[in-house]
Amino acid sequence: MGNTTSSAISKEILEDLKLSTKFTETEISQWYENFQKQCPTGRITPEEFEEIYTRFFPEADA
């Protein structure tokens, strides 16, 4: 965890996400793969976060 990079989401994290969200294993894995492609460093800037947040929550004040 932390600064390590991996091409696949760990089984432990995947199980945690499945239990605490309504998303399927396939959906979570696809989101993770897309994130890795778009953010190969595993990090985003505050501006990138705000842009993503605004897309998910257009009525919110980011």
| pLDDT on residue 5 | 52
What's the rounded Cα separation, in Å, for the pair 21 and 9?
16
Report whether pLDDT(1) > 90.
no
Measured torsion, CA atoms of residues 36, 41, 44, 45, in degrees rounded to the nearest 10: -160
Report whether pLDDT(23) > 90.
yes
Provide mean pLDDT across the span 29-43. 92
Supply the CATH classification number for the domain 11-56. Answer: 1.10.238.10
Report whether pLDDT(42) > 80.
yes
User: What sign results for the dihedral spanned by CA atoms 20, 60, 57, 59?
Assistant: positive
Identify the band that residue 36 occupies on the pLDDT scale cut at 50, 70 and 90: very high
Model pTM? 0.65
Distance of CA 47 to the CA centre of its chain: 16
